[in-house]
Every structure is written in C-alpha cells, then in structure tokens.
Amino acid sequence: MKEADIRRKYIEFFKSKGHQEIKSAPVIPENDPTCLFTTAGMHPLVPYLQGAKHPAGRRLTDFQKCIRTGDIDEVGDAVHLTFFEMLGNWSLGDYFKKEAIGFSFEFLTGKENLNIPVEMLAVTVFAGDEDCPFDAEAFEIWKSHGIPEARIAKLGKKDNWWGPAGVTGPCGPDTEMFYWTGPLPAPEVFDPADKRWVEIWNDVFMQYNKTADGTFEPLAQKNVDTGMGLERVTAILQGKTSCYETEIFAPIFAKLDEIRKVEPVEGARSSSERIIADHLRAATFILADGITPGKVDQPYVLRRLIRRAIREGRKLGIEGHFTSQIAEAVIGEFGDVYPELREKAAVIKEELDREEKQFAITLEKGTHEFQKLIDRVPPHITKKVISGKNAFNLYETYGFPIELTVEMAKEKGFEVDRAGYDAAFARHQELSRAGAEQKFKGGLADSSEETARLHSATHLLQAALRKVLGEHVEQRGSNITAERLRFDFSHEEKMTPEQLKQAEDLVNDAIRRDLPITCEEMSVEEAKKSGAMGLFENKYTANVKVYTMGDASKEICGGPHASHTGELGHFRIVKEESSSRGVRRIKAVLEHN
C-alpha cells in the first residue's frame, strides 16, 4: 500500500467516525517555547488539550508535517528522519479508551483499511507503579478485540507513559501497537525487547494532572492524543527495511541520479544519498513556512541541514549547485498535499541557491584556515599531525567533513588525530542531544497568566510594528516564556532607536487605555472581511477564533490571552536583532509596579 493511500484511508476512516479534518500546521510552532519545531500533531492543539473549545469540535483528525532534530547526526542510517508526517486523531473531552482503542484496532485490521492480520500485532499497556495504577481498562479492551494476553506486555512509565511536559500538568498512560517484521509465523509471546516487533501507533490517554507536590489527580477533561508515523508504516506494510526504499523518496533519488549522471540503482542507498534526500526534504518544508538560513534557532538548524547536504553532495562528486534541483523534486512529490510548497517554490529555490553560494565562500575560508594549520608545523618535524581539536574546529566552524580534512592532510604528508576528533565530536553530540532534550522535548506550553499577558503583548507589538515600519511586517515566529516574549517579523533593516521607541509607546498607549480583549468565533472569510490579521493562513480550519483588543489589534489566534490590556503592565523592548535574512527579532518584557 502506497503512502498516499495510507494517508487518504486514515483521514477518511476517522471522518467516518465523526472526526473533523483539520489542516497541517506549519513546522514552526506558534507561541510554544518548549520546541523550535513542531515535533508532533499535538503542538497546534495545545490550548484545546488544556480545555479551550476548538472551532472544529471535539473529535479531530489530520496529517501533520513534523521536524525532529535531536538525532541529526544519526540521519544517514536506514531509520532516522528529520522531516516526517504524523497521522493523528484526537478526542478533546469526548470519547476515551474504549473508543480510541476500538478505532485503532479497526483501522489496523479492517479489510477496507490497512487489513493487517491480528496475528501480526502486539501491544503494550501501562503496568502501574506507586503513583498510578495498572491500566487494566486498556488491557481488557485489547483482550476484547482478540489480542491474546501473551501478546499484551505491561511496561512502566519509561515505555508507556506520557508527560507532563514540565514539572506539573496533564499526563497519563499510553498504549502502543507493534507489527511483526521478522520471519513468519510471529512469536506467540510478545517480547518488547525483540526489535523485530516495530512500533507503529501510540494512543495517549491524558487522564491525570501532576501537581506541584508530586501527586496525580484525575483531570476534569480527559483527552486522547494518538500518533502514527506515515513513513514508518508505509515501509512496514511494503515489507521494506527502510522508509528510504519506498516510493516516498523515489523521485528525490531519481533527481539525484540525474544530477550525478549515474544509472538508477536498485535497493539500499548510500549514507550520503540518504542524508541529501532527508535534509533537503526537511529544508524545503522549513523554507516554505517562512524560515530562512541564519545563525540562531530555526534558521541555524535550517542552515545546518542545507550545508550538511552540500557536504555529502561533494562526497558523491557533485561540483555545481544542486540543492534547488532536489527541492524541485520534493515540491513535485508533495505539492498537491501541501500547497504552500508550490506557492513558495520560487523563494525556496532562491534561498537554496543563495546558501550554496555562501557556503562555497565559507569552504574557501576553511581551506585557507587548513593551510595555516599546515604552515605552522616546522618542516623538520617527521611525524606531522593535525590535532583532533583543530580537525573538529574545521568541521564545526567551516563545515569540513573529517573525510575531507584527512584527504587534504594526506596530500600534504600529514596525519589527522582521528581519535581526538572522534572524542571532540562525541562531546559535541552529547551537548547537542542534551540541548535537544530541552529544546525539542515537546508538549504542552506554559499557560500561566503571565504567558497569556505576554501573548497579548505580541499582538499589540505586531500592530505597532505595522504602523511604524509598514504593512509588509508579518509574524515569522513567536516564543513566549513566563519571563519574556520573543517576536520574529519580516523586515529587512535594523530598526532605529526612534522606531523602537515609537513601537514601544504605541503598545504602552494601548495598555494605558485598558482596552477590552474579546474573542469571537467565525469563518475564515468572515475573519478576513472583518480586517483580522491572519498568520500562517494555511493552517486554519473552517472556523477560527478572532481576538480583538479595542481599536489596537485584531488577529486570528488560538489564545490564551488576558481579559483587558490594562493587565499587561509596562511594555519594554529589551533587544532588537537579526534572526535570519529578511527577518528581525524583538525581545521584550512586561514590568509590573
């Protein structure tokens, strides 16, 4: 079964069960400081999982484009992906375990759906601990569907528990479904440690709230959040050992073969080919959502993806610019499903070409730095070595892969301290992974009163910037913590002190007037006619929420917000800087007397 068929069947199945389809949100989360990227389908639904009413109702389904970067250095093997699609369905205080498990079982085994034989499936449930009891309900529901007890494993919090995202908040047990990929027949007894059992679906039951004192209280609104990775399921159902071997990547590899002027190959692709395909697929989607290469946060990740792909292209002997050609293949493959790719095609290719030109200059500087290392070694030294630290600096600062450094060193009669390089690289990976666990941990954003006030302040700030700088100003990203707001917006030039003061004064004037903040639910067309600002329009469902702040601001938004602008206190801009090409960033705080 092809990827497009699985995606279509999934959405049609859940629509037949009373779910409303919602559009995929951008890969850049809106107002969620826990993540740089959307790493799961739940991110756009944060306010609704916390109790806000969703305009489309209480049963939702979608396919969500996601980016996960905690394992960038592992991409190149058969399993890791940076970009992937997540199929999801949600119950926002509507149905719970019985229906959720029933839906999952029916979709997996139904003849009109995936038609997987029951004997190929196994599941896990939460075993229980001192905090919360064994999930006997999920256990019994699976048995009622014909899953034998020997195929139901009871596991602890490490394997079958979600959340909370922070110290406190919503959390609960989950149940995971596994498919047997080894030789037939599948073992009668399910061993979760046997890697031939591959997880394909996860149903999370948000039924508890963890309090500050560590106790678990039942939630007033119990939610279901499920996720199925489309690429993984496609590979499994097609009997492939890797998603790179499915039709999902075929057009990308075909374009790569054409660029290299080589005959198409059958079977597994090389590590370099997989890195190029994955990284440039991810980069194309990130660029389509308005991010351009830069030095911090999402722009930095984007630059890293593009440059790693270019380095791998050089390993394969590609000399000229090629990234925009790969992007064309990605757009051709996914443009019907994600129209924003076609809409932004010219910008995507332009940015990739620009980044390749810039990286060529960087590589030239790196070559110069390499020569300086060589020149510092006295001619009479017999064993000439480039230290691991210097080799890693060439990689980290100038993008030199270790293989290139070794090759150039050999030409000069030098060796490279590969063990020292590997140690430095391992330290870098540990730091990256530790950072990823914080930056990309995902989950429910902080919804305190302070973050709600800062969220309201971003609306006032955007309205002020459009008055001061012009109507070309649009939000390009927002990150809010309880202490400050960070707002990225489209603008080419550094703001002057006078412009910053004007924007600050406009926001504080709106605060001083204590304007009411009201929310109305209406159609997208009605919202546009009312003059509401619309950010990331491709994500909106048929109905949206519009927040109005007197005569100062009117925006489509999911919330949450303060009730009056007077609650915000004094608004102060702390810093204005470049975020990436054509995008500026403002950091600001609210001060209370």
- Reported as a single tens digit per residue, the pLDDT across 255-264 is 999 999 999 8
pLDDT at residue 440 above 90? no
Tell me, yes or no, whether 157 and 295 share the same domain: no
Per-residue pLDDT, averaged over 239-261, amounts to 94
pLDDT given at position 416: 94
What is the three-class DSSP state of 300?
Answer: helix
Asked which of 63-67, 317-321, 503-507, 508-512 is least confident by mean pLDDT, the reply is 317-321
State the Rg of the chain over Cα: 26
Q: What is the pLDDT of residues 501-535, one digit of tens each?
A: 999 999 999 999 999 999 988 888 888 889 898 75
Both 301 and 404 in one domain: the answer is no
- Kindly report the CATH number assigned to the domain that includes residue 481: 3.30.980.10
- What is the domain extent for residue 366? 249-370
Q: What is the pLDDT of residue 302?
A: 93
Report whether pLDDT(436) > 50. no
* Same domain assignment for residues 291 and 179: no
User: Residue 459: what are its φ and ψ, rounded to 5°?
Assistant: -65, -45
Strand segments, DSSP code E, in 415-494 are: 415-416, 475-480, 485-490
Confidence of residue 52 (pLDDT cuts 50, 70, 90): confident
pLDDT at 542: 64
Q: Give mean pLDDT, residues 293-316.
A: 88
> In angstroms, rounded to a whole number, what is the distance separating the alpha carbons of residues 227 and 200?
9
Is 561 marked as binding a ligand? yes
Last residue of a domain, one of 198, 213, 240: 240
pLDDT in tens, 475-502: 888 888 878 999 999 999 999 999 999 9
pLDDT the model gives residue 328: 98
Mean pLDDT within 224-240:
93
Residue 169's region, left for phi above 0, alpha for psi from -120 to 50, else beta, is left
Looking at the structure, tell me whether residues 538 and 480 fall in a common domain.
yes
Model pTM score: 0.78
H-run or E-run covering 97: helix 97-109
pLDDT of 121: 97
Q: How many domains is the chain partitioned into structurally?
A: 4
Q: Which residue has the tokens 């073969």?
A: 257
Full DSSP string of 34-82:
TBSS--STTGGGHHHHTTPPPTT-SEEEEEEEEE--TTGGGBTBSS--S
According to the 3-state scheme, what is the secondary structure of 368-431?
Answer: HHHHHHHHCCCCCCCCCEECHHHHHHHHHHHCCCHHHHHHHHHHCCCEECHHHHHHHHHHHHHH
Residue-level pLDDT at 380: 84
Q: Are residues 44 and 102 in the same domain?
A: yes
Contacts of 362 (CB under 8 A, 6+ apart): 307, 398, 399
Nearest to 87 by CA among 271, 289, 230: 230
Q: With 50 as the cut, is the pLDDT of residue 214 above it?
A: yes
Quick one: what percent of the chain has pLDDT higher than 90? 64
Position 541 scores a pLDDT of 58
Output the six-digit token pair for 368.
Answer: 């110069």
Q: What integer is the mean pLDDT of 327-351? A: 96
Both 421 and 309 in one domain: the answer is no
Say yes or no: 481 and 438 in one domain: no
Please state, in angstroms and rounded to a whole number, the distance separating the CA atoms of residues 265 and 256.
Answer: 11
What tokens appear for 136 in the block? 């006997």
Residue where a domain terminates, one of 442, 466, 482: 442
- pLDDT band at residue 11 under the 50/70/90 scheme: very high
Cis peptide before 401 (omega within 30 of 0): no
Asked if 63 and 87 count as a contact pair (C-beta separation under 8 A), the reply is: yes
> How many residues appear in the chain?
593
Between 394 and 78, the higher pLDDT residue: 394
Cα separation, 38 vs 28, in Å, equals 6
Residue 64 — φ and ψ, nearest 5°? -115, 130
**Residue 72 in contact with residue 307, Cβ under 8 Å?**
no
Would the annotation count 519 as a binding residue?
Answer: no
Range of lowest pLDDT (12-16, 131-135, 166-170, 416-420): 166-170
Angle formed by the axes of helices 402-411 and 297-315, to 10°?
50
Q: pLDDT averaged over the chain?
A: 89
- pLDDT at residue 439, as a whole number: 43
Angle subtended at Cα 324 by Cα 322 and Cα 327, rounded to the nearest 5 degrees: 115
Within 13 Å, how many C-alpha atoms sit on residue 238's CB side? 21
Q: Hey, which residues does 197 pair with through a beta bridge? A: 180
Instruction: Give yes or no: residues 353 and 407 share one domain.
Output: no
Helices 402-411 and 345-375: crossing angle in degrees, nearest 10, is 40
Strand partners, 586: 487, 576
Dihedral sign computed on CA atoms, order 101, 106, 108, 113: negative
Is pLDDT at 305 greater than 90 in this prediction? Answer: yes
Task: Decide if pLDDT at 447 tops 90.
Answer: no
Is 459 annotated in a binding site? The answer is yes
Q: Which of 370, 393, 409 is the last residue of a domain?
A: 370
The pair of three-digit structure tokens given for residue 63, joined into one six-digit string: 């396919």
Q: Are residues 359 and 497 in the same domain?
A: no
CA distance 91 to 196: 31
What is the structure's pLDDT at 382?
83
Residues 505 and 553 in one domain: yes
* pLDDT score, position 285: 98
**Per-residue confidence (pLDDT) for residue 434, from 0 to 100:** 54
With beta carbons less than 8 A apart as the criterion, state whether 62 and 24 touch.
yes
- Of the pLDDT bands very low, low, confident and very high (cuts 50, 70, 90), residue 313 is very high
Residues 474 and 431 occupy one common structural domain: no
Query: What mean pLDDT is predicted for residues 570-579?
Result: 93
Average pLDDT over residues 104-129: 96
Residue 33 banded pLDDT, cuts 50, 70, 90? low
Same domain, 188 and 49: yes
- Note the pLDDT tens digit of each residue in 346-366: 999 999 999 999 888 888 888
CA dihedral angle for residue 263, residue 267, residue 271, residue 277, rounded to 10 degrees? 70
**Quick check: 124 and 152 in contact, CB under 8 A?**
yes
Give pLDDT, residue 431.
66
Q: Quick count: other Cβ atoms within 10 Å of Cβ 158? A: 6
The pLDDT value given to residue 441: 40
Model confidence at 414, pLDDT cuts 50, 70, 90, reads very high
Residue 557 marked ligand-binding:
yes
Distances (CA, A) of 182 to 191, 299, 354, 522: 13, 41, 46, 52
